[in-house]
Amino acid sequence: MEKQSQLQKFLSILDEKSVPYVSWKNNHELDDYLDGKGDLDLFIPSDYRAAFMFLANENKWIELQNPVASFPSVCHFFRLGNFGKIHHLHVYFQIVTGESWLKEFVLPLDEFLLSNRVKTITNGIWILRPEAQRYIFALRHLMKGGSLSSRLLYRNELISYRKEWEFCGAGTVGWDPELGPFSLSNYYLGARLLQSEIKLPSIITAIRLRWSFAPFLRMSLLTLPIRRFDNLLKRSLNKFIFKQKKVFPRGGLVIAFSGVDGSGKSTMLGTVSQFFSSFITVEQFQLGRPQGWLFESFRKLLSVPREHAASIPGKNNHHSRGLPRAISATILALLRLRNARAAIRSARCGNLVFADRWPTTGLEKMDGPRIATDISTEKGGVIALLGKFEQWVYSRMPRADLCIVLKVGLDSALIRNKARIKEGKESDSEIRQRFEQNQIVQPIAKKVIQFENDGDFEVMRLNLMEVLWKEIASH
């Protein structure tokens, strides 16, 4: 683990700006959280919510939400750390707790938590002092044992809870049921927390406690069984069908990758997509040639073989001159428009969208229109009409939020192209021609970043992650 992680730096900033916080549970895994494993549970008083949100945004933390388990006053924040690690903050502006899936109670524990915090010696992070940690653990322990579904979930994670119980010293000194704002003496024996080898609480005891906490319910008591079933259904559908990760609460964004053949576009796109999809819902779109196998087969039938194209007089622009090719280019433009609009719709749903290429407006440029409109022959007149329609289609293309144009030298492009495994791979002469032709391209995007991709892959990957994270955090 690095000497000071991005998470530690941010917590130090909260201290400097007098924003109080405390890690109020699961502190037995604190070292893992600092190393980018798991999520750190922080309580921050609601009065400081605006200040925290400002500092989080200023320090490039990205807010995301769980699409199937979103709770009031509970937010998720993520930050890219050193060496490509991800830090996750689970921030509570109120203590919303209860059953693992419902979190049906909002408890007035603000003053208790802040008055019982201490700084760790090893890393200077505010956590609860052991006595208070034991009291909070007992309260959570009892709340999780009040329904069959919650008891089942709790049982599956009991090993971790036992480690947390041991961490706060309860195995040797026990816990004080009168320490906190709620007296738990009447539930002490039924809690079954008399020794380190904890057991599930008595269900009768847990139900009694939950009834006593009814004034703090954030939903009707009568609706809890329905809500449990609804939550189970949503989580099951998401796990086996939708498979969504976290999403952006106010809409996602579209990031396109462009670049000449051999620039490393496909490799980088696959790498960043795999990285972000570990915690964000990611969708990918293809806008280079998004025809599908049927149209691609049709296009190949219309195409002049590469080995003969160069020998045909006046065919330097053969992609735009023949009527069959003009029809192919027009259909391609419509398919690109369809895919671009689908990508934008996906982003509006809160997803992070990566696109392999994005349309441009320059004639005969990479991913741009192909049909020349200066044709005077009778057949050319039809081509000219198709050309005008194609230009209209490209004028209707939505803008990507960001387009990363990968730049490499010609020698690197040639070497990488030779290493590619691809049917109908471009020849060296075609790579040279495209390289010169597409030195200046302008994708239809709100922002375009030229990224130099010559160099060691791991170094380039980390540099690109930093660029992307900065842009996403400022979105």
User: pLDDT by residue (tens digit) across 397-436?
Assistant: 999 999 999 988 877 767 766 766 666 566 767 667 666 6
Residue that finishes a domain, picked among 242, 263, 294: 242
The pLDDT assigned to 172 comes to 73
* Sheet with 86-92: strands ordered across: 62-64, 74-80, 86-92, 39-43, 22-23, 126-128, 117-119
Strands (E), 33-94: 39-43, 62-64, 74-80, 86-92
Tell me the β-bridge partners of 255. Answer: 354, 402
> Which of 242, 271, 294 finishes a domain?
242
Q: Which CATH number covers residue 409?
A: 3.40.50.300
**Mean pLDDT, each 10-residue run in order, the chain (475 residues):** 81 98 96 94 98 98 96 96 94 96 96 97 94 96 93 90 88 88 96 81 96 96 94 95 96 93 86 96 89 66 51 42 82 93 97 96 85 62 89 96 90 69 67 67 92 91 96 94
pLDDT of residue 320: 43
Q: Judge if 205 and 319 occupy the same domain.
A: no
Cα 432 to chain center, whole Å? 37
Q: Give the domain range for residue 458.
A: 253-473
pLDDT digits (tens, 9 = 90+) for 230-242: 999 999 999 999 9
The β-bridge partners of 106 are: 96
Region for 402 from its dihedrals, namely left if φ exceeds 0, alpha if ψ lies in -120 to 50, beta otherwise: beta
pLDDT value at residue 153:
92
Enter the tokens of residue 183.
């007296």
Q: What is the pLDDT of residue 411?
A: 73
Q: What is the pLDDT of residue 469?
A: 98
Per DSSP, the three-state class of 333 is helix
CA distance 41 to 44: 10
Instruction: Let me know whether 184 and 317 are in one domain.
Output: no
Clarify whether residues 96 and 219 are in a common domain.
Answer: yes
Whether 231 and 316 map to the same domain: the answer is: no
Q: How far apart are CA 116 and CA 121, in angstroms?
A: 16
C-alpha–C-alpha distance, residues 455 and 264, integer Å:
11
**169 and 281 co-located in one domain:** no
Q: Which of 218, 242, 266 is the last residue of a domain?
A: 242
Q: Residue 366 has what pLDDT?
A: 84
> How much is the pLDDT for 338?
94
Same domain, 182 and 141: yes
Q: Where are the alpha helices (DSSP H) in 277-427?
A: 292-302, 306-309, 318-321, 323-348, 378-395, 410-419
Claim: this prediction has a pTM higher than 0.95:
no
